[in-house]
Amino acid sequence: MPPRKIIIDTDPGQDDAVAILLALASPEEIAVLGITTVAGNVPLDLTTRNARIVCELAGKTGTRIFAGCDRPLKRPLVTAEHVHGKTGLDGPTLPDPTMPVEDTHAVDFIIDTLRGEPAGTVTLCPLGPLTNIATALHRAPEIADRIQEIVLMGGAYFEVGNITPTAEFNIYVDPEAAEAVFASGVPITVMPLDVTHKALVTTPRNDAFRALGTPVGLAVAQMTDFFERFDKEKYGSDGAPLHDPCVTAYLIRPELFTGRHINVEIETRSALTLGMTVADWWGVTDRAPNATFMGALDAEGFFALLTERLARL
Ligand SMILES: [Ca+2]
């Protein structure tokens, strides 16, 4: 099988960084056509900068990076420096990036790529708020039929929320964009907090990254050290959840994940539950299924894959 062609849409973020590294380390399974950036964890200038830093860390300076939307569709931007630090990539000390950003806007790149590649051969992998994807679908509705699949990190059902009591960050930041994407008819696979909170970087797992003895292994260990302090305090867990790498791991080893094909709707009006992913896990409505919502993860298999692939960079 030829590698699967993907566009990574991202707001790095330490866990975005690990997701990107995993994809770039896996050319047999994944061909990264481009990385598009969006405002989310930190503002757009920083997410774009961080995407370049990560590609340079991986030694993949030929990767094409496109800057996208700098704010949500209808709301002011909410960021998450309290989790990711001031730069969004706090932890390791990495050099200022020198590789270029493409002149084309991320939304134009997404549209042009989907028009140019054979229908059904390009997968979109959003790791941040869905602003770029929703904007592309709005501007060129015909691309919906050409997208192979959208595999995204966002939402929660049993874990409910992380930025509010009922909402996960990526969906909360741009709920109107999420609503448009979930209504698009494109096949969607969702990695919610229910799964990503099972991808915990325990001390032995982080030691395994560090023990790779490479710049990538050390940087990943330092990134995880930085942002796990937040989750340890908040949840009392053994380590930080690696949210976004669940998306790229799924493309390589889908059998590590199990879930249900269900209806998922996005709350856009309630003050209390704005951005909630209302997931009909138990099938109590007759609303049509529109997403495969993951619920379980083989965490040992996930970390074995991640460590093995990061060792290649
Ligand atoms: Ca992210």
Residue 233 has pLDDT above 80, yes or no: no
> 70 CA distance to ligand 1 centroid (A)?
15
Q: Which of 84, 138, 197, 243 is an active site residue?
A: 243
- Counting Cα atoms < 13 Å in the Cβ hemisphere of 228 gives 20
Q: What is the mean pLDDT of residues 37-59?
A: 98
Residue 35 has pLDDT above 80, yes or no: yes
pLDDT digits (tens, 9 = 90+) for 117-153: 999 999 999 999 999 999 999 999 999 999 999 999 9
> 203 CA distance to ligand 1 centroid (A)?
22
pLDDT number for residue 125: 99
> 59 CA distance to ligand 1 centroid (A)?
21
> 16 CA distance to ligand 1 centroid (A)?
5
* Reported pTM: 0.97
Residue 234 has pLDDT above 80, yes or no: no
Q: What is the mean pLDDT of the chain?
A: 96
> 286 CA distance to ligand 1 centroid (A)?
32
> 169 CA distance to ligand 1 centroid (A)?
9
The question of whether 105 is a catalytic residue gets the answer no
